């Protein structure tokens, strides 16, 4: 029986020995309750003590006095220096293997002499498997990005390049330096008009600074060899689980082919417009020669005015690539010859309405005929006459309807013609038959009143 076992309550020294024994017992209980494996060795690597968790991780309960061969323990006993986060695979007697993370510290006596070491270790097999899976997934994902035929790269929250795929390097004509290059993989950038675009003002930089996606922008990439490529960027911020900005991903779309197609289309449209203008001029010249001896000057002037009206709306449609024409611009072109010195005798009022080509051409001719009639016989022929045109777009039905009102006042009393002339025929045939609309015209003492309802498909 040792001194601790022989201790009793006969004196102060006995009380100290009992307290020491109680502390050692508590220490052993604490050691046994730890959720990690713990063992100690003497300076020769002989196992002195270990807890239940250590035996569980080893898959056995070795006898004290066994020599330990674990590398971290051997290194600490040899060098007297601690080993931190040593990772190794341990094989159990049953053949199963676990991945261990160990931290080992030397033990010294009061004189500083090495007397042994203690090791704390735990099973990180599940963590290692998860790490491997994550690494494999990341590698697979990066492989997928590398295989994509579109330029993609990422940055951290400060704009430093963290990844780029092969297509991004091909588009830029260079390989960016990860962690060094800022904002974009490109060498130089330009605005669509050719002015320089600093990298810290590029769409990717704006997306990170404003923490929002940027869409609809265009820029020009200049490679180190001087070639330039138009592109559309799609920068999108990235956030962690707490919503904090951690970086951004950008996709650069090469739009060279689209730009070439647009240029070819514009050249083709310009050529068509040029030829149409030449054709109209030829028709005008032929008509003038043909009608010179056989018709009055008024007839020739009327014919040329109609061609001019058609040419004006044609020019507006050409400027918009034959997509649409603005109603108010058509009206201003129609009334341009009649403005004169007075500025208030022609009044226009209505919202912005864009008309498809067929509606625009037909309506321009109808309005030209009404304006010509007003200039010869109606409100525009009088010093005190006024002409008001208002319009509105009704979109409540199945198809948008344009409603237009034409009102003349202060001129000669309107008189219905004895025979239907070209203007009335065009009004009925053009609005009602060709456009599927309705037209109403009245010859009132105050002046001509005309109401048009035309179905339109608009772009506003």
What pLDDT score was predicted for residue 349? 92
> Given a cut of 50, is residue 4 above it in pLDDT?
no
> Given a cut of 50, is residue 24 above it in pLDDT?
no
In whole angstroms, give the CA distance from residue 43 to residue 288: 121
- Which residues 6+ apart lie within 8 Å of 164 measured at CB? 151, 152, 153, 154, 175, 176, 178, 185
> Given a cut of 80, is residue 269 above it in pLDDT?
no
HSE, side-chain direction, 13 A CA sphere, residue 170: 12
- Which residues 6+ apart lie within 8 Å of 91 measured at CB? 97
Q: CA dist 177 to 169, 236, 439, Å? A: 11, 21, 70
> Given a cut of 80, is residue 352 above it in pLDDT?
yes
What pLDDT score was predicted for residue 433? 83
Evaluate whether 284 touches 307 at the Cβ level (below 8 Å): yes
> Given a cut of 60, is residue 13 above it in pLDDT?
no
> Given a cut of 50, is residue 57 above it in pLDDT?
yes
List, as one string, the DSSP characters of 273-331.
Answer: HHHHHHHHHHHHHHHHHHHHTTS-HHHHHHHHHHHHHHHHHHHHHHHTTTS-EEHHHHH
pLDDT over 90 for what percent of the chain? 42
Residue with tokens 């330990």: 68
Q: What is the pLDDT of residues 402-452, one digit of tens each?
A: 999 999 999 888 888 877 777 788 788 888 888 889 999 999 888 999 999
What pLDDT score was predicted for residue 161? 93
Q: What is the pTM of this model?
A: 0.45
Least confident of 2-6, 129-133, 328-332, 455-459: 2-6
Pairing of strands 161-164, 151-156: antiparallel
In whole angstroms, give the CA distance from residue 204 to residue 222: 16
Predicted confidence band of residue 102 (pLDDT cuts 50, 70, 90): very high
What pLDDT score was predicted for residue 246? 94
Residue among 252, 101, 282 nearest 184 (CA): 252
In whole angstroms, give the CA distance from residue 453 to residue 399: 12
Angle between helices 256-292 and 297-319 (to 10 degrees): 180
> Given a cut of 80, is residue 288 above it in pLDDT?
no
Evaluate whether 73 touches 67 at the Cβ level (below 8 Å): no
In whole angstroms, give the CA distance from residue 186 to residue 167: 12
Mean pLDDT of 327-335: 90
Q: What is the pLDDT of residues 380-390, one digit of tens each?
A: 888 889 999 99
Least confident of 228-237, 298-307, 365-374: 298-307
Q: What is the pLDDT of residues 113-163, one digit of tens each?
A: 999 999 999 998 888 888 788 777 777 767 777 777 889 999 999 999 999
Q: What is the pLDDT of residues 209-237, one digit of tens each?
A: 999 999 989 999 999 999 999 999 999 99
List, as one string, the DSSP characters of 56-96.
Answer: HHHTS-PPTTPBP--HHHHHHHHH---EEEEEEEEE-TTS-
What pLDDT score was predicted for residue 7? 45
In whole angstroms, give the CA distance from residue 39 to residue 41: 7
Q: In whole numbers, what is the pLDDT of the chain averaged over residues? A: 83
In degrees and rounded to multiples of 5, residue 103 shows phi and psi of -130, 120
Predicted confidence band of residue 376 (pLDDT cuts 50, 70, 90): confident
Mean pLDDT of 354-376: 88
Q: What is the pLDDT of residues 163-180, one digit of tens each?
A: 999 999 999 999 999 989
> Given a cut of 60, is residue 11 above it in pLDDT?
no
């Amino acid at each position: 029986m040792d001194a601790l076992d022989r201790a009793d309550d006969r004196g102060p020294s006995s009380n100290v020995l009992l307290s020491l024994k109680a502390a050692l017992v508590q220490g052993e209980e604490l050691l046994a309750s730890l959720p990690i494996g713990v063992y100690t060795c003497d300076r020769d690597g002989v196992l002195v003590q270990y807890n239940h968790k250590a035996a569980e991780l080893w898959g056995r309960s070795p006898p004290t006095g066994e020599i330990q061969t674990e590398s971290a323990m051997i290194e600490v006993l040899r060098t007297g220096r601690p080993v931190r986060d040593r990772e190794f695979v341990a094989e159990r007697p049953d053949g199963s293997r676990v991945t261990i993370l160990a931290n080992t510290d030397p033990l010294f006596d009061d004189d500083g002499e090495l007397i042994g070491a203690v090791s704390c270790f735990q099973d990180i097999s599940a963590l290692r498997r998860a790490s491997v899976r994550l690494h494999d997934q990341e590698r697979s994902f990066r492989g997928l990005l590398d295989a994509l035929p579109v330029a993609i790269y990422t940055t951290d929250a400060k704009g430093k390049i963290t990844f780029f795929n092969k297509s991004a390097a091909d588009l830029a004509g260079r390989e960016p330096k990860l962690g060094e290059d800022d904002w974009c993989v490109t060498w130089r950038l330009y605005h669509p008009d050719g002015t320089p675009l600093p990298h810290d003002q590029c769409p990717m930089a704006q997306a990170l600074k404003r923490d929002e996606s940027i869409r609809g922008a265009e820029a020009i990439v200049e490679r180190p060899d001087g070639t330039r490529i138009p592109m559309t960027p799609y920068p999108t911020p990235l956030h962690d689980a707490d919503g904090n900005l951690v970086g951004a991903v950008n996709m650069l779309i090469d739009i060279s082919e689209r730009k070439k197609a647009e240029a070819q289309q514009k050249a083709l449209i310009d050529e068509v417009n040029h030829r149409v203008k030449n054709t109209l001029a030829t028709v005008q010249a032929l008509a003038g020669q043909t009608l010179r001896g056989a018709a009055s000057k008024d007839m020739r002037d009327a014919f040329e005015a109609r061609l001019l009206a058609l040419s004006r709306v044609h020019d507006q449609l050409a400027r918009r690539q034959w997509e649409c024409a603005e109603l108010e611009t058509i009206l201003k072109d129609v009334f341009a010859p009649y403005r004169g010195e007075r500025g208030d005798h022609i009044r226009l009022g209505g919202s912005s309405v864009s008309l498809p080509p067929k509606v625009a051409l037909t309506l321009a001719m109808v309005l030209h005929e009404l304006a010509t009639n007003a200039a010869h016989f109606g409100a525009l022929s009088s010093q005190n006459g006024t002409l008001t045109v208002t319009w509105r777009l009704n979109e409540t039905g199945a198809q948008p309807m344009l409603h237009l009102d034409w009102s003349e006042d202060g001129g000669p009393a309107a008189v219905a013609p004895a025979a239907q002339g070209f203007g009335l025929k065009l009004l009925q045939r053009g609005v009602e038959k060709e456009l599927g609309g309705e037209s109403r015209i009245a010859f009132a003492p105050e002046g001509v009143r005309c109401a048009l309802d035309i179905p339109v498909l608009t772009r506003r």
